[in-house]
Amino acid sequence: MAIIEVSDLSKTYDGIAVVDGVSFSVEAGETFGIVGPNGAGKTTTVESVEGLRQPDGGSIEVLGLDPVQDRFEITQRVGAQLQESRLQDKIKVGEALELYASFYRDPADWHKLLDRLGLGGKVNSKYASLSGGQKQRLAVALALVGSPEVAILDELTTGLDPAARRSVWETIEQIKASGVTVVLVTHFMEEAERLCDRIMVMDRGRVVATDSPAGLIGRVGSEQRLRFRPSEPVADEDFMALPEVVSVAHDGSQIVITGTGNVVHAVTALLARRRVIAEELRIEQSNLEDAYLALTNQDATSITAEEEN
Amino acid sequence: MAATMQLTKVESKLFVRDPIALFFGLVFPGLLLLALGLFYPGFDEPAADLDGARYIDVYAPIVLVLGLATLGLVTLPPILGTYRQFGILRRLRTTPVHPARLLTAQLVVHLGVAIVAAAITILIAKFVFDVPFPQSPLWFALSFLLAALSIFAIGLLVGALARTTVAAQAIGMGIYFPMLFFAGVWIPRSVMSDGLLTVSDLTPLGSAVQALEDSWFGITPSATNLLVMLVYGVVLGAIAVRAFRWE
């Protein structure tokens, strides 16, 4: 059964369509990722689902309710963590949880919640004294303190260092395991690949693709790349003669071979027959990042140009 | 209701954890009266230009209004600006509790601090300078509540319109100082010219000082003074509530 059903959602600001005909559905217990470049309309989409924004067109149903009309019921059953939202510097962790717990008719035991999120020892710490990762885990705790059926997390790990990011990922895996439906907006493909059952890729207000991580990677081809330095020279033609090999290139003393199917086996078998050793061998496979860049029509140069601006 | 209680509880704790707000909101009015009375020559002796009243009698209600103005115009607006800027109000919108309840909690906390600050001031006036307790307590309480209503409504409006903490601070201060002038902080109302007195009567702080002074010494406050405060409070409060931006 679909927990969230969005069809043909559109939202326009100053004549510009920020979200333009977006449709998707999220099943119970699923972790659903929304990825896309800045300005793709991800946040506008989830904030419409939360009922914070009134869509200009299309329909949204969450738990069979209208997020704007049935505001009170939605807020009871959907927990949210907002991008760029923080707490008062001097509020203590325990006070924040106790306060938010008082808002809901069926609050979770917030002491247990804090223990689960590794914040059990921080009950008396003030918000300003928490690290970035702790603040984000507290934001997750506040999103979960009302025992929601759906948790919507918007760029939870942006600005965190790798260790803090991993601790937040473990937190999200715990939420998944407890059966809560999760909608996760993220910039990080590694995060989406690891946590999400399905991913929706958005670009310029539209849905580009919705699929499982493996399905998305499959769409951009199953090309693999081998990179090594041969101990003895081998002619390019000999590699090209293998049916699995698509191209051969040289990068200094290294050879870079791309191919499909069982190309790794074909190349290493050839080298073994010739008694050539492949030194510094690395095998690169397409990953979600490649799929994402291909689907959103971004290549490395255009991204660099964007960052420089 | 439970949520509003919790919000009020948390916001009072946060207020107490801010030493500057605590000093100026809670202690400063009483301290100022103490300093004026102890160190200003002749402040607690009958003065000819006050028709035999003492400066300390006239300044006691002025200091009360100064306390209200500090809370309403200096402390309150930046808190609201910060709550908007930090996304605290917006975050509340995703919960079953409307962010208006946070505003209610703030007003309750500020009123509570104002009442304690007034009590401290009244006690200092009574026991250090022999100013009697307010002679018409009911009129005095009504005047105080109307004064708080009108001044907090201005602060709420500033907090409603200012986009950031800094803007809220600047606008609040920009209103605070001219208002203190009309309240008689620098020239007591009793020595103001008729023209100036009329303008002062039309400001909520001027009316507040007069109504508090009257009821303190057993005179029924004038309907004009009470009405001015009521109108400011209701009109500006209504505009603030309608204009309030949650994000």
Q: Cα–Cα distance between B60 and B122 in angstroms, integer?
A: 8
B-chain CB neighbours of A142 within 8 Å are 91
Strand order in the sheet with A2-13: A16-27, A2-13, A57-62
Q: Cα–Cα distance between A17 and A12 in angstroms, integer?
A: 4
Other beta carbons within 10 angstroms of residue A305's beta carbon come to 9
- Is the CB of residue A267 less than 8 Å from the CB of residue A259? yes
- Contacts of A102 by beta carbon, 8 Å cutoff, 6+ apart: B2, B3, B5, B6
Q: Cα–Cα distance between B112 and B178 in angstroms, integer?
A: 25
Compare CB distances from B91 to A78, A82, A104 and report the shortest one's residue: A82
Residue of B nearest to A102 (CA): B3
Residue A233, helix vs strand vs coil = coil
Residue B231, token pair as written in the block: 């109108």
Ranges of CATH 3.30.70.100 domains, chain A: 222-285
| Residue A99 sits at the chain B interface (C-beta within 8 Å) | yes
Q: Cα–Cα distance between A24 and B113 in angstroms, integer?
A: 51
Residue A91, token pair as written in the block: 């509020």
Region of A132 on the Ramachandran plot (φ > 0 left; ψ -120 to 50 alpha; else beta)? alpha
**Interface test mutation site (partner A, options B11, B86, B91, max chain A beta carbons within 10 A):** B91
Give residue-wise pLDDT tens across range A205-222. Answer: 999 999 999 888 887 776
For domain A222-285, give the fold.
Answer: Alpha-Beta Plaits (3.30.70)
Going residue by residue through chain B, which has 247 residues, state the pLDDT in tens, using 9 for 90 and above. 788 999 999 999 999 999 999 999 999 999 999 999 998 888 888 887 777 789 899 999 999 999 999 999 999 999 999 999 999 999 999 999 988 899 899 999 999 999 999 999 999 999 999 999 999 999 999 999 999 999 999 999 999 888 889 999 999 999 999 999 999 888 888 888 899 999 999 999 999 999 999 999 999 999 999 999 999 999 999 999 888 888 7
- Is the CB of residue A206 less than 8 Å from the CB of residue A22? yes
pLDDT score at A298: 67
A-chain CB neighbours of B2 within 8 Å are 102
Residue A140, helix vs strand vs coil = helix
Q: Evaluate if pTM is beyond 0.80.
A: yes
Short-list B156, B152, B150, B200, CA closest to B179: B200
Q: Cα–Cα distance between B215 and B133 in angstroms, integer?
A: 10
The DSSP call for residue B191 is G
Compare CB distances from A95 to B13, B86, B95 and report the shortest one's residue: B13
Phi and psi for A20 in degrees, rounded to 5? -135, 90
- Is the CB of residue A114 less than 8 Å from the CB of residue A142? no
Contact across the interface for A87 and B13, Cβ inside 8 Å: no
Return the residue matching tokens 């100053």.
Answer: A14
Residue B247, token pair as written in the block: 């994000």
Residue of A nearest to B17 (CA): A90
B-chain CB neighbours of A86 within 8 Å are 86-88
The DSSP call for residue A196 is -
Q: Cα–Cα distance between A230 and A112 in angstroms, integer?
A: 57
Short-list A14, A17, A26, A46, CA closest to A205: A17
Distance from CA of B225 to the nearest CA of A (A): 38
Other beta carbons within 10 angstroms of residue A270's beta carbon come to 16
- Is the CB of residue A78 less than 8 Å from the CB of residue A62? yes
Residue A108, helix vs strand vs coil = coil
- Is the CB of residue B73 less than 8 Å from the CB of residue B170? no
Distance from CA of B94 to the nearest CA of A (A): 6
Phi and psi for A208 in degrees, rounded to 5? -90, -40
**Interface test mutation site (partner A, options B8, B94, B247, max chain A beta carbons within 10 A):** B94
A-chain CB neighbours of B6 within 8 Å are 98-99, 102
Instruction: Report DSSP letters for A172-183, one per residue.
Output: HHHHHHTT-EEE
Residue A198, token pair as written in the block: 């399905």
Identify the bridge partners of residue A202 per DSSP, sorted by sequence position. A207
Short-list B161, B184, B186, CA closest to B172: B161
Q: Cα–Cα distance between B154 and B238 in angstroms, integer?
A: 11
Compare CB distances from B2 to A82, A96, A102 and report the shortest one's residue: A102
- Is the CB of residue B99 less than 8 Å from the CB of residue B93? yes
Return the residue matching tokens 């291909």.
Answer: A294
Compare CB distances from B3 to A85, A86, A102 and report the shortest one's residue: A102
Going residue by residue through chain A, which has 309 residues, state the pLDDT in tens, using 9 for 90 and above. 699 999 999 999 988 899 999 999 999 999 999 999 888 999 999 999 999 999 999 999 999 999 999 999 999 999 999 988 899 999 999 999 999 999 999 999 999 999 888 898 999 999 999 998 899 889 999 999 999 999 999 998 887 888 888 888 988 898 889 899 999 999 888 899 999 999 999 999 999 999 999 888 887 776 788 999 999 888 999 999 999 898 899 988 899 998 887 888 999 999 999 999 999 999 887 788 888 888 887 654 444 444 433
User: Any idea which architecture A2-218 has in CATH?
Assistant: 3-Layer(aba) Sandwich (3.40)
Ranges of CATH 3.40.50.300 domains, chain A: 2-218
| Residue A87 sits at the chain B interface (C-beta within 8 Å) | yes
Q: Cα–Cα distance between A144 and A151 in angstroms, integer?
A: 7
Strands A150-154, A31-35: pairing kind: unpaired
Chain A, chain B: beta-carbon pairs less than 8 Å apart = 59
